[in-house]
Structure 1
């Protein structure tokens, strides 16, 4: 018997459109797996199939080796957290969290609600209404409600995508802490690389319904399985050993490999290679300066301020090794 969730050759179709194409993936007890992909990649569709909200056209799902075929949503014992939280507006925060605890005595319900409010950092909020909460607070309540009945798995579908970037980063770290402290088994759907790397033990990259790679965040960043994966993860250029050495890289590529230049691969350095500035623009954290590499490809380097010179000096400090 294989413990936890097993997705085996899962295929989902909408008429002639194949939204998920023969995907196989396991989630072990206590593990958080992120489904990472762009819009239309099939990640939310796959999560909905695991929840029982979408039928499979092929393949199967099991939990601890037991098929989930025909098991209705409410009997799968999976918690669900969606982008909008879907709190009950007429109930207090405490009653929202206690919604799935109807079989417990009232004293145990109150104790469990208090425990979860402490866990998500909302002590003292039990009598407030959802309309009195910020977006981040509402998502914390939604997470607490999904955890309250101690489900065997939590399914989170883009839970932070509606929040502003600063708040999203803070809540991503909090969410990762909460899932680990509670040893929760989870699937986390996102299009955001940083969220996936922060929250998940392993990341599954999907594109147009196909599973391209499953790996730990560190392995995924440094050894993507293909150029397609590397490009989705942010590689802006793919360079040879010779070009990498021109940029001051001290590493060594294997035969048949090229180095994907990621957003963090280049740094400004007074002793670096001089490259032409092509364009620049502001990001929430810094200025993204686009430069022309020695082989003519474009790549970006971060700068604390806009540059005024026609060229800058950069050094290559990392990258993603992929097959040429």
Structure 2
């Protein structure tokens, strides 16, 4: 009753309440009129709830001394003890350095490559040759990580193809799989080779949306190919590139576990041990579930902070962002 009296005494607030009520009714009406579209979304929503949100309940074990026989709720609460243990561990800075080093170099080298390839392919006139090149650079994406790791060992082992070529020309063999300094180039180089062609599909789709009339007008005005790429093509793909950059930075600490684990050897482990492989070894091999969950949660929080900072910066600079 008091709320109704206050609202009636304030015409502006009363109109805002009525407008909000009308908006809610219009949203409900729109949902009812387009219920078929929402039914299409229902399986995806159920999937994310069941497999993404409900398992978040298990994050509680990062703050507990988890004992499987007692369950999550029955295990004793230890607070931030596991986080402090990880921060004070002698491996902490090594893991951070290796994880960030691989991620940052992979982002610096791997992110621009699909853009460059897409711009070059877009300028090709001969369509058959263009399709051939696309097929060749797309193909590595379909190679599994296990097969890729096997190929790397075959090519870069002590008696592999690369060392055979080096010794053939009078050089001395290089221990690619044993020296820690070679782990990062092999990891990043193989990733660029495998994913560049597939990643450029998104940019080619964005370039396909550029009207040919714009290129014709630029040609009439005397613009050469480089100028058309610089002033027509690059601005056209910039919003897409910004969104993909935000997503890439958001996954900065989520390096591919499978390839790093498969390429590890006892000799290159100082450079190959990263947070995902450390979580696997501590959590599953040593059965320290709570400690591994704390390390994984720390990793996820870092990613969340990074994606928020980059999204906010991108919106201020270019006006494009994820939200």
TM-score, normalised on structure 2? 0.22
TM-score, normalised on structure 1? 0.22
**Structure with the greater alpha carbon radius of gyration:** 2
Answer 1 or 2: higher relative contact order, Cα 8 Å, separation at least 6: 2
User: Is the helix fraction higher in 1 or 2?
Assistant: 2
